[in-house]
Chain A
Amino acid sequence: MDTYTIGGTVLRSRLFLGTGRFPNPHVMKQAIAASEAEVLTFAVRRVQLDAVDEDAVLQHVEGGGFQYLPNTSGSRTAEEAVRIARLARAAGVGNWIKVEISVADETLLPDPVETLKATEQLAKEGFVVLPYTSDDPVLCQRLEDAGAAAVMPGGSPIGTGLGILNPYNLERIVEKANVPVIVDAGIGSPSDAVLALELGASAVLVNTAIAKAKDPVAMARAFKLAVEAGRTARLAGRIPKKPYATASSGLEWLVSRSMAGR
Chain B
Amino acid sequence: MNIQFNGQWMRVEGQTVYDVLASHGLEAKPVVVEVSGEILDPSQWRTTRLSEGMILEVVHFVGGG
Please report which residues of chain B, range 49-65, place their CB below 8 angstroms from some CB of chain A when the two chains form the complex: 57-65
B56 to nearest A CB, angstroms?
Answer: 10
B24, A52: Cβ atoms closer than 8 Å: yes
B24, A44: Cβ atoms closer than 8 Å: no
Q: Could you give, for residues 173-204 of chain A, a 1 whenever the CB lies within 8 Å of some chain B CB and a 0 otherwise?
A: 00000000000110000000000000000000
B29, A46: Cβ atoms closer than 8 Å: no
Give the residues in chain A near B62, CB-CB below 8 Å: 20, 42-45, 55-57
**What's the A-B contact tally at a CB cutoff of 8 Å?**
99
A232 to nearest B CB, angstroms?
Answer: 26
B8, A43: Cβ atoms closer than 8 Å: no
Q: Which of B24, B25, B32, B63 contacts A90 (CB 8 A)?
A: B32
Size category, A interface = 35 or more
Give the residues in chain B near A153, CB-CB below 8 Å: none
Chain A interface residues toward B at CB < 8 A: 18-22, 28, 41-47, 49, 52-53, 55-59, 68, 70-71, 73, 83, 86-88, 90-91, 93, 158, 184-185, 205, 207-208
Q: Which 8 pairs from chain A and chain B are nearest by CB? A: A43-B64, A18-B65, A207-B65, A20-B63, A42-B61, A19-B63, A55-B62, A46-B6
